[in-house]
Amino acid sequence: MILTIEKAREIYKGVKISKGAKIYEGAKIEAGAVVHSGAVICPLAVIHSGAVICSRAVIYPGVVVGNRARIGRGSVVYTDALIGNRARIGSNVVVEENAVVEANAFVKPNAVVEPYAEI
């Protein structure tokens, strides 16, 4: 079930959620995170403190986004992928399921991170 913006802001105190973001019930978002308009956070996804999810990005179930990581505009992070602390994912990137983007890594715009790959 998609939460209304009001309900999401009530549940996720300390998280900046822009109007137009879609957050499903069951997602875990820590205080200090930012979710921009048009972003989608699926259930069972974990967004750690200080992470930024840019507009039109989609975070699937089981994904963990580390502290102060950034997911670029229009990027898609599929099931069970791990994004390390302070990692930067460029715009329009596809991170396939079970991929790992290590801490402090940078993925260029329009790239594809293959399943089970480590960057």
* pLDDT tens digits for range 52-95: 999 999 999 999 999 999 999 999 999 999 999 999 999 999 99
Average pLDDT, the chain: 96
Q: pTM to 2 decimals? A: 0.95
CA pair distance 68, 42, nearest whole angstrom: 19
Q: Which tokens is 45 given?
A: 């996804």
Residue 116: pLDDT band with limits 50, 70, 90: confident
Which residues have a Cβ under 8 Å from the Cβ of 21 and sit 6 or more positions away? 5, 8, 35, 36, 37, 38, 39, 40, 41
Say which DSSP state 6 is in. H
> For residues 35 and 18, is the Cβ–Cβ distance under 8 A?
yes
Q: Which pairs with CB-CB distance under 8 Å and at least 24 residues apart come from 14-19?
A: 18/55
Q: Which domains does the chain have, with CATH numbers?
A: 2-113 (2.160.10.10)
- Predicted local distance difference test score (pLDDT) of residue 45: 97
Sign of CA dihedral 46, 39, 83, 103: negative
